[in-house]
Structure 1
């Protein structure tokens, strides 16, 4: 039985990444594919003026749609408390200092180094986007790490000691995504073919079935 390999490009600030990651985790647990998490920094970090340049209706529609998708699939969903990115919603301006997104993205990359990235992203995503207030405080992330088979203290020590190396790996993830033909998240890449969006999971599975995907 051949096990396929795929890469999931993911941002902890992306609601659609969250709405996809649990379904990709289930797919990997049920079928013969290993999905490696490839965390990237969100557009707010890579292109801080992105939100200011967008159409005024873009943000309103996105909030409507992400809540609708969550309801359709029965996925717990709520506004992050706090938002992983500090941003003025009225002006859409991104703050210069970002205390949350760097830590959580580096934690995701440290988890990916250990082969537990997909599980960690799903568990942490359920805190951030599933309604946990103060997801960055207390035992929230420790519990998420434990449920993903990891130790948060070990991960935190690694990101403190190797922040630069982890950021280089995260930048390489972004470059690999662009080399595969896309720029946004969530994107699953299978044999160099990108599938962008939470609404492409069934199509990605269909393509993998053509390549031999079967139930485990």
Structure 2
């Protein structure tokens, strides 16, 4: 029996990146289908989040995400460009957000085709793995190809159906909150949310209790 789960994911979240490769490996080696459910990051949903957060939050997060990457041997570099346009001196989020809008909509278009997990992993490896100008040239086309997708087709859908895709993304966020959480990465399996890149082993343990088998 094939198990199913939903992975709520943000392309701006370093912890989403640090989790998705391991979830993809789990889905490829075991009889479980993990559906990608992209959401917009807090910077879009709550633009004042960074302005009102504790001053130590950013410093600690930067330290922690680097050591998590080192611990798991995951390539990690600063996003160039950042998917979010932000003034880091003031922490103010710009109103116009071309990068995160496009990449999240692309992720949702890939999810429509049942290949969201692979596309998000490949794209996140560009964004967070240190690829300069990940949004330019052939970077995303290559990521789409590695996920067995066509970027031109996805981009056309993004241009033609931005409102529909945004409605689906908003529905993902609502479903995440209804499942009992609000942040990413969160895997929801059998109605139970597992938040954070440090809950992957526990999510797998729960799946094994429900009959998870290797392929």
Same topology, TM > 0.5: yes
CA shift, 1:185, in A, is: 0.1
Match of 2:134 in 1: 135
CA RMSD of aligned residues (A): 0.4
Task: Report the TM-score when normalising by structure 2.
Answer: 0.99
How far off is 1:90 after superposition? 1.7
What residue ranges of structure 2 are gaps of 5+ in the alignment?
none
TM-score using structure 1 length: 0.99
CA distance in 1, matches of 2:129, 2:184: 19
Name the residue aligned to 2:72: 73
Counterparts of 1:87-166 in structure 2, within 5 Å, are 87-166=86-165
Query: How far apart, CA to CA, are the structure 1 residues paired with 2:152 and 2:206?
Result: 39
- What is the total number of aligned residue pairs between the two structures? 215
Residue 205 of structure 2 corresponds to residue 206 of structure 1: yes
- What is the deviation of 1:99? 1.1
- Measure, in 1, the Cα distance between the counterparts of 2:27 and 2:88: 36
- Distance, in Å, in 2 between the alignment partners of 1:49 and 1:67 is 25
User: How far off is 1:166 after superposition?
Assistant: 0.3
Gaps of 5+ in 1: none
CA distance in 1, matches of 2:98, 2:111: 21
Deviations 1:8-31 (A, max 9, x none): 000000000000000000000011
Aligned 1:172-187 pairs, distance under 5 A: 172-187=171-186
| Partner SS state of residue 129, structure 1 | helix
**Partner Cα distance (2:64, 2:87) in 1:** 21
Counterpart in the other structure of 2:9:
10
Give the superposition deviation at 1:214. 1.2
CA distance in 1, matches of 2:191, 2:168: 19
- For 1:90 and 1:79, the matched residues in 2 are separated by 17
